[in-house]
Amino acid sequence: MRERRALQRRPWEEDLLHWAKDGTLHGSVSPPSDGRRRSTTSDGWCPAWALELQRRYLALILGPQHDSQRED
């Protein structure tokens, strides 16, 4: 939890290229070459991955009508 909270306090790091927990590549900016882990926790969690997972879960539970209401 500590790692996740720390990442949420540094939202700009989400723009740095990183592999998310599900194996997808996120970000658009090359990270510094100092070797420090950024944008993900030690197990691969990142805020954008968590939001996408939540969006998919809600669409599954609430059904497709929820997605169409969001777009309007």
Digitized pLDDT (tens) for each residue of the chain, 72 residues in all: 899 898 889 988 889 998 888 888 988 999 888 877 788 888 888 888 888 888 888 888 887 665 555 554
Backbone angles phi, psi at 29, to 5 degrees: -120, 135
- What is the model's pLDDT at position 65? 62
pLDDT at 70: 54
Q: So where are the chain's domains?
A: 2-71
Q: The pTM is what?
A: 0.62
| pLDDT computed for residue 64 by the predictor | 66
pLDDT for position 66: 54
Q: Which residues are within 8 A (CB) of 45 and not within 5 positions of it... i.e. 6 or more apart?
A: 3, 4, 7, 20, 21
